Structure 1
């Protein structure tokens, strides 16, 4: 009897201490529109978010067609993130079809966007993530939204955001280290569509493309002929195709100009886990390495 009392008295303080520890906050069920954004949300949310990407690896967010499974994911989400600037043209239809009651968080709010003329109209370039400087704005917006949805874990989200912001600063410095020594007249490449505008603005690289900002557009024969002449005149030596869209047109232009293949770029979609770009950090470094290597070769 005495031994049992001693054991109980010894265990009681530990039981009291255990019961006083607050229960861990509920893991947020989150939906992101495409893989690049889903990875950044995961970096900020850590173990306290469960993120589903509507557009899967190697998928094209411009031409995405939501499925009933996507509607189910969205309806049950506690928080939804989109990039915005016209990228997810299908999202309003999906929200209506799914019965989702929330309002998606637009993570690109606050970014200094770029515009261009396309088919006689001024359009905003939605591909903001191809500059890690812009992704820092994403991170701030994501942290704010997660903290509002789950105040108990706000400190964790802040620490994760600060850590990942340092990663983005390192990516920016890495890109400058690769491109700043390359002569300006060699910083030109051919890609499938105009998705590298922010990358080009940040690192003074010129990207020429037969398609506009969306892969849903079609290039006319006159536009292709004009591009071919421009590539010849500017002595563009390398071309790249993209993991998420059809490479046939860019290869046709390359054959007409003599541009040499530089490889595959990951522009608006991550690879699967076995590919070279399963995270945003790896995707950006991979693209920088591919483009810089092609420029160095042409020099």
Structure 2
């Protein structure tokens, strides 16, 4: 993990140097970075602070990250308490560029687990809300670089159409699962928006904090429910400690069906190297598991 963070930092540092004419921009974490690249295209030199397969909840930026941010003209954060460390980084560097909060103006769900200022920050798990992220990023780029307005508007519109198609595909895939079987157990509670948008019930032995420890009573209750309802969709996530979920699956007599991507993309050679790829990879695992296949 330490080596991955160093690589991520290295990728972020030459943002301004990559292209003299490109607008230097920084995103707090990998999913936002991908959305930023989709809207900005070659006109934007997009960097990311917390890179792929990195726990953004508890990320600790280093001085090199502050230096990268100082060179940017626009900074993108998720907000809703998800990347509060990025807020502190903005303050410590006295960032004077355009700051975009990707969740601004979106209808956020109340936090059901550990508090993020009272709101669930994982809004990108509903593709319709991710389109709202795209619109906020577009508006920020228009402020930071008005000369690129035509490019940003065209790319944002094209990307929004692709995401609308992705949203429809997810709905069609989930519809192939009988409603009573749309139950999934995951490591921590990061899929509330997906569940609300697409009609899937997600349960987690941990709350929204990936390192929270559930009580023995919570684990026992979840095991009883898995057995009683015949839940077959049990998943790890690419972030966090898998020990609790592995123990729960063993005691419930079910197998872990794979690894979902919740809070970060995969490395470029992985199955979730972009936001679209992440959502398709997750659905490709979830649907057959909920149906009890394999």
Deviations for 1:139-164, whole angstroms, at most 9, x for unmatched residues?
Answer: 11111110111111101100000100
Distance 2:114 2:266 in 1: 31
The structure-2 alpha-carbon separation of the partners of 1:218 and 1:132, relative to structure 1 and needing over 3 Å to count, comes to same
CA contact (8 A) 1:197 1:207 kept: yes
| 1:244 aligns with one of 239, 244, 250 | 239
CA contact (8 A) 1:76 1:100 kept: no
How far apart are 1:25 and its partner, in Å? Answer: 9.5
Matched, 1:97 2:92: yes
Distance 2:285 2:184 in 1: 11
Larger of the two Rg values belongs to structure: 1
Matched, 1:267 2:262: yes
| 2:149 aligns with one of 150, 154, 160 | 154
| Structure 1 counterpart SS, 2:258 | strand
Matched, 1:202 2:197: yes
Distance 2:282 2:87 in 1: 31
Structure 2: gaps (5+ residues): 1-18
The structure-2 alpha-carbon separation of the partners of 1:297 and 1:222, relative to structure 1 and needing over 3 Å to count, comes to closer
| 1:84 aligns with one of 79, 83, 106 | 79
**Structure 1 match to 2:271:** 276
How far apart are 1:235 and its partner, in Å? Answer: 2.5
State how 1:106-255 maps to structure 2 within 5 Å: 106-118=101-113, 123-255=118-250
The structure-2 alpha-carbon separation of the partners of 1:128 and 1:159, relative to structure 1 and needing over 3 Å to count, comes to same
Equivalent pairs counted in the alignment come to: 276
Larger mean CA deviation between 224-233 and 140-149 belongs to 224-233
Deviations for 1:1-43, whole angstroms, at most 9, x for unmatched residues?
Answer: xxxxxxxxxxxxxxxxxxxxxxx99311001010001000100
How far apart are 1:119 and its partner, in Å? Answer: 6.4
Structure 1: gaps (5+ residues): 1-23
Distance 1:121 1:270 in 2: 21
TM-score between both structures, scaled by the size of structure 1: 0.87
Larger mean CA deviation between 213-222 and 268-277 belongs to 213-222
CA contact (8 A) 2:114 2:208 kept: no
| Structure 2 counterpart SS, 1:125 | coil
CA contact (8 A) 1:29 1:77 kept: yes
TM-score between both structures, scaled by the size of structure 2: 0.88
**Structure 2 match to 1:19:** none
Distance 2:65 2:114 in 1: 32
